[in-house]
Amino acid sequence: MNIVGKKIGLSTQVFSAMILGAVFGLLFGGVMVKLEFIGTIWLNCIKMIVVPMVLMTIITGITSQKDLKSLGRIAVRIMVYYVLTTLVATVIGLATASVLKPGVHANFTGLASKEVSGSTDITIAQFFTNMFSSNMFVTFSESNILQTVVIAVMLGVAIMLVKNDEHREKLISGANALCSMVFSLIGMIMKASPIGIFFLMGASFGKYGTSIFTSMATLLGTYYLACILQVLLVYGLVLWFAAGISPLRFIRDSAELWVYTLSTCSSVAAIPVNMKVAREKFNVPDSISSFTVPLGSQMNYDGSVILYGCVIMFISQVCGQSVSLEMMLRVVLLSAILSTGGGGIPGSGIVKLLVMVEAFSLPTEIVGIIAAFYRLFDMGTTTNNCLGDLAGTVLVSKLEEKRAKKLAATQDNN
């Protein structure tokens, strides 16, 4: 086993496990559904380490900066990127669904509706209030990632502001040591990825069979086309013009990441993989990726807002309701606000989708049907979110690199 493991890379093992799992699910569906608990155990191990991973990577990302000024510059750049790409992603989702009109060709015969529950009363004030924890230990125990990010930023800045040099260095050294331990544990868990993914994929295909590809084919195809357009036209072109990285190279070099996210549907669990790809394929220093990638996992939801736009257009077309330019603008703005509020919304993705549909007085029954097949959409959502995080991280790294070269050239001239 060790010999084989050395010859075959982890990404190849994961991809092979995904294919084999699908085949076994189709051939031995009942057995694979019963064995789903094996994949669930692996997934639980990942979830177990998520909070300490986010906490320590952001703290060490902040404390690795030369000063708070450089941290602020990186933070502003990545946040501007995340906001702009989110707005563009919503427009792409709306435009793609407007052109292809998936709702006109949709057929819901034989589909079973799935009840969606959860609070849909969300305000801007509630969103910002939910970002700040009143008890950090409760935040950690409930795995509230958005609050964990805020706590980590506050702790990292607090360490940087410690006036006693000896104490500050000890705190930084201790944070780095804890971060090393966390990533050592992640490495152990990741070695079991092929096993966990094999059983998760087998169970999914065992439950739904090939019908999962046909029941929501029109909407699913439209959504994935919009995701591809976002990757090529937004991430690809931004990196091409700003960093000289072609869209095809970006897709090729990020393969380990998107193969992983297609399999796991977890952007938070993909943080270490994303950082690894950024470091090994795009030469991004950990001091940048350890801050921008975890932040992106909570701020950057391009894949999610693409889905919002597609679903709004889809349901409108099914109902024969026309969509005005004003309505489209409202979809763009509401999507941008709602997409970053996952930590404070019970039920997360599908409930946020329900909120969007209710906000425009469209029938929520169709959201229930979509919810029954949400795993298929979540594969694209997670992958697009993470590729957006990676592209933003690479962009900021290249901008920092150009700035450093410019400063060095100025100093040489002086």
Evaluate if residue 111 carries a pLDDT over 50.
no
Band of pLDDT at residue 42, cut at 50, 70 and 90: confident
- What pLDDT score does 351 carry? 64
Band of pLDDT at residue 280, cut at 50, 70 and 90: very high
Evaluate if residue 339 carries a pLDDT over 90.
no
E strand or H helix at 330:
helix 325-339
Evaluate if residue 343 carries a pLDDT over 80.
no
Gap between the Cα atoms of 118 and 294, Å rounded: 26
Rounded to the nearest angstrom, the gap between the alpha carbon of residue 62 and the centroid of all alpha carbons in its chain is 21
- What pLDDT score does 51 carry? 82
Evaluate if residue 315 carries a pLDDT over 80.
yes
Q: Residue 257's closest CA among 280, 234, 236? A: 280
All residues at 6 or more sequence positions from 122 whose CB lies less than 8 Å from its CB, including other chains: 338, 341, 344, 345, 355
E strand or H helix at 121:
none
> Residues 350-357: what's their mean pLDDT?
74
pTM of the predicted structure, to 2 decimals:
0.70
What pLDDT, in 10s, does the model give residues 82-101?
989 999 999 999 999 999 98
Gap between the Cα atoms of 35 and 140, Å rounded: 30
- What pLDDT score does 347 carry? 41
What pLDDT, in 10s, does the model give residues 190-207?
788 889 888 887 887 787
Give the SS3 label for residue 69: helix
Gap between the Cα atoms of 357 and 116, Å rounded: 12
Structure token pair of residue 180:
């090393």
Rounded to the nearest angstrom, the gap between the alpha carbon of residue 134 and the centroid of all alpha carbons in its chain is 26
- Alpha carbon distance, N-terminus to C-terminus of the chain: 59
What pLDDT, in 10s, does the model give residues 381-404?
989 999 999 999 999 999 888 888
- What pLDDT score does 4 carry? 45
Contact 81, 295 (CB under 8 A): no
Contact 307, 331 (CB under 8 A): no
Gap between the Cα atoms of 335 and 306, Å rounded: 9
DSSP-derived secondary structure letter, 233: I
Gap between the Cα atoms of 245 and 107, Å rounded: 41
- For residues 314 and 355, the model is more confident at 314
Amino acid in the structure at residue 63: T
All residues at 6 or more sequence positions from 384 whose CB lies less than 8 Å from its CB, including other chains: 89, 227, 230, 231, 302, 303, 306
Rounded to the nearest angstrom, the gap between the alpha carbon of residue 359 and the centroid of all alpha carbons in its chain is 24
What pLDDT, in 10s, does the model give residues 243-278?
899 999 999 999 989 988 887 777 877 888 899 999
E strand or H helix at 397:
helix 374-413
**Domains of the chain by start residue, with CATH:** 2-413 (1.10.3860.10)
DSSP-derived secondary structure letter, 66: S
- For residues 234 and 64, the model is more confident at 234
Burial class, 187, CB count within 10 angstroms (exposed 0-12 / middle 13-18 / buried 19+): exposed
Q: Residue 337's closest CA among 131, 50, 139? A: 131
- What pLDDT score does 29 carry? 87
